[in-house]
Structure 1
Amino acid sequence: MKAYITMLGRSTWALVNTYYAVLMEGRYFPDIVHIFAEDIFADELGKAAEGMRVLSEEFGISPEIQTHLVPEADFVSAGRMISELIRRLKEEGCNIAIDITAGRKALVAAALIPAVKHKMDHVFYLAVKRLESRPYMMIPMANQSLRDFVGEAQSK
């Protein structure tokens, strides 16, 4: 079983594009997706989930998609929620990938602490040279690069 945890921040495109890059490069095909968003981005959560659902179908997978709201900039609350989820997923024997591209700092920090503690399988980040509000395939590949910080650290 593979779980993919991602965070929605100011840019829905950043979340969807990173997922597209992960699928496109064949790096990870999840069975379940968890999207965390701060409550101020609640109105974008459905759009993000739908984008991930459409991309999944295009790649022949149909992960269960769950959404979670956390209070804005509440590092402690977000940390507890994400940590509990990761602990539970690990107990269930899941491989876990976390995407930190679109999340705001408090949410990313709250995710990375348990990610390090529980030794995540992947920590994805789509590095884009400048802010782009358009689909992944419309951004020149020379301007973006999918990183897997865990994979890169293990190969050194």
Structure 2
Amino acid sequence: MPPSAFALELGGDALGRDRSPTWSDRPRVRFGIDSGPMLAGVVGRRKFQYDLWGDAVNCASRMELHSEPGRLHISSDTWKHVRHAFACTSRGRIAIEGMGEMETFFVDQALAPRAPMATRSGRAANSLGDGAETQGQSDIDSRRSS
């Protein structure tokens, strides 16, 4: 699974897959995703901070800024990676500060349900690693008991 598809699934899970009557009670979160090279590292001498730099990071920030509450907004670079896995609606060309006009997309839904993935324990997990978190917790629990 490409990292951009993983990010879209993560955003979809954060927004909630089914918009039940309680949807209006949920936080109105906006998401923006771009794909491309970036640098990552820890900065600071006394207080360490992990940070990301690059055009892809700046573009993702702009995608979030121009998104709507409850929507995943992606760049055309990300759309090229995920167009076969997610139904998207083009927003047409919009002016993005510092980047000019770009075609962008809203992600509407996954085209097919996620297939479960097996974890090291052999249990099924969704592609976001729910089972892997459980496996990690069982590793911690087994260390505590030894």
TM-score range, shorter chain: under 0.3
- Structure with higher RCO (Cα < 8 A, 6+ apart): 1
TM-score by length of 1: 0.23
State the structure with more CA Rg. Answer: 2
Higher helix share: 1
Q: Flag the structure with higher strand content.
A: 2
